[in-house]
Chain A
Amino acid sequence: QQQVKQSPQSLIVQKGGISIINCAYENTAFDYFPWYQQFPGKGPALLIAIRPDVSEKKEGRFTISFNKSAKQFSLHIMDSQPGDSATYFCAASKGGFQKLVFGTGTRLLVSP
């Protein structure tokens, strides 16, 4: 049973635009929601993470919006750059552990 649903599967954004990736989860026990960025041939790297006690977290051009009642969270990349072209994964875990449940990924292409 897939517990974290991610959309879209792929996304093309022009340079300078806003990239938005959405995730929905089912398990209300989840209490940690990270986003990972993965370049081809590399392992994923933590980008930004949020806990359910806040509705938004911003780090530079990256923002997570969290809607606890809707069980949804999203990643916004402002002023998208070609170097942001990568696959992005949302994930969730519970109980303070890193036993993460991942979404299926979004392949982002930022056109110059």
Chain B
Amino acid sequence: GAGVSQSPSNKVTEKGKDVELRCDPISGHTALYWYRQRLGQGLEFLIYFQGNSAPDKSGLPSDRFSAERTGESVSTLTIQRTQQEDSAVYLCASSPQTGTNSPLHFGNGTRLTVT
């Protein structure tokens, strides 16, 4: 079936505006992750959802960042009052279950540019 789908693929926004990034995981994948990739850097963990358990939000950089997931499907990452340092590629990944026996499947990301 289809892989992880992210939308939009590109987003340009003005400083101070709110943005919503969407992730459609692979059907049946119970675990969903958001990572951020700044230019020339590795990926930074943001948040993790597993089934109906409370999400692990330990990687969110500030209270301007939040994410939701509807059941075991779509997830939305929201950034409020965007700042220039929020410019990055935001990657979503899903896996069939929690744990390192299930590889992560990444989407192609949303490239966010804050002007």
Residues of A within 8 A of B (CB): 4, 6, 32, 34, 41-46, 49, 89, 91, 93, 96-105
Contact = CB atoms under 8 A, between A and B. Distances in A.
B7 interface: no
Given A97-B98, A98-B31, A105 B42 contact: yes
Q: Looking at chain B's contact residues, is the secondary structure mostly helix, strand, loop, or mixed?
A: loop
Interface residues of B, number: 27
Contacts, number: 65
Nearest to A44: B106
Interface in B8-42: 31, 33, 35, 40-42
A93 B43 CA distance: 13
B104 interface: yes
B91 interface: yes
Interface of B: 4, 31, 33, 35, 40-45, 48, 56, 58-59, 91, 93, 95, 98-100, 102-104, 106-109
A83 to B, nearest CB: 19
21 contacts: A32-B100, A34-B103, A41-B108, A42-B108, A43-B106, A43-B108, A43-B109, A89-B43, A91-B42, A93-B100, A98-B33, A98-B93, A98-B98, A98-B99, A98-B102, A98-B104, A99-B33, A101-B45, A104-B42, A105-B41, A105-B42
